[in-house]
Amino acid sequence: MKIFTLLFLWVLCTAQANAETSIAILDFELRDLTLAPGIPAEVQRTASIKAMLEAELERAGYKIVTIDLASQREADGGVGYLFDHHDSAAELAKNAGADYVLVGRLHKPSFLFAYIMGHLVRTNNGQLIGNYISEIKGGDEKLTLKGVESLAVKIDHDLDKIYMPPPPKAIHK
Euclidean distance between CA atoms 42 and 87, whole angstroms: 29
Model pLDDT for residues 61-113, shown as the tens digit of each residue: 999 999 998 899 898 888 889 999 999 999 999 999 999 999 999 999 999 99
DSSP collapsed to 3 states, 143-171:
HHHHHHHHHHHHHHHHCCCCCCCCCCCCC
Question: Where are the domains positioned within the chain?
Answer: 22-158
Q: Tell me yes or no: is domain 22-158 CATH 3.40.50.10070.
A: yes
Determine the pLDDT at residue 41: 92
SS3 content of the chain, % helix, strand, coil (to 5): 45, 25, 30
* Residue pLDDT, tens place only, 12-52: 555 444 458 999 999 999 999 999 998 999 999 999 999 99
At 136-152, the pLDDT tens digits run: 998 889 999 999 999 99
Q: Residue 57, Cα to own-chain centre: how many angstroms?
A: 8
Phi-psi region of 162 (alpha: psi -120 to 50; beta: other; left: phi over 0): alpha
